[in-house]
Amino acid sequence: MPARPRIVLLHATPVAMQPVQAAFKELWPEAELVNLLDDSLSPDRAREPELTEAMIDRFVNLGRYGHSTGADGILVTCSAFGPAIERMATELPVPVLKPNEAMFHAAVAKGKRIGMIASFGPSVGTMTDEFDEYTAEVGSPASLRTILVADAMTALKAGDAATHNRLIAERAPELADVDTIMLAHFSTSQAAEAVRQRVSIPVLSAPGAAVIRMRELIEG
């Protein structure tokens, strides 16, 4: 393993970039980060009711390019492309990590009633499928209840992080009866503190858990 493992970050929207970079700086500063952004992927995905074969090919091709740069691992930061990430993982000889794998693990360890706050509608179906697949794999009876706050993503893309965080936090009390709350996307992680001020249960975000898991995969 090189002294500075090269981790390629695949982004489908610019708003996911800062949260994961901050998590790496805090949790694994030795990693060398390469950011690959195709910001047409997110709006194109939003226009399609399902993830099409053409979009899967586009996403996997981006992963192939990332691997060609000398990646020791690839971390995808967008949660709306689960099947594409799975295909990428079968094709590439390095660890390929979905954005929410590690967060699911942490959530299920905390209880059976899991809440999730999402801000990008097309990701909800794929994330729900992935959560159900994960719980079946580990034999957990955990269930998932999701709240969608689409206006929060609109605010964030307009550069208004304060409104994004407020809108997310305002809906959090609707999940006060669950065992833990997951913030669905890398971009929603910046609302974590605002959410924690509104509820007394654990609040999990994806970037930190993903960085820790990728480090484990690379360093063994």
Asked whether residue 187 is domain-assigned, the answer is yes
Cα 4 off chain centre by: 24
User: Is the pLDDT reported for residue 29 higher than 60?
Assistant: yes
User: What pLDDT shows up at residue 49?
Assistant: 85
Q: Could you list the residue range(s) of the whole structural domain that residue 59 is in? A: 6-99+208-219
- Residues 128, 150, single domain; the answer is yes
User: What pLDDT shows up at residue 102?
Assistant: 87
pLDDT tens, residue by residue, 44-55:
998 988 889 999
- Residues 88, 58, single domain; the answer is yes
**Where residue 92 falls among pLDDT bands split at 50, 70, 90?**
very high
pTM for this entry: 0.82
As a whole number of angstroms, the distance between CA 175 and CA 10 comes to: 30
- Residues 147, 76, single domain; the answer is no
- Residues 76, 113, single domain; the answer is no
- Residues 149, 215, single domain; the answer is no
Cα 58 off chain centre by: 19
Query: Which CATH number covers residue 22?
Result: 3.40.50.1860
Asked whether residue 1 is domain-assigned, the answer is no
From 73, 111, 65, select the one nearest 89 (Cα to Cα): 73
Cα 88 off chain centre by: 16
* Count of domains for the chain: 2
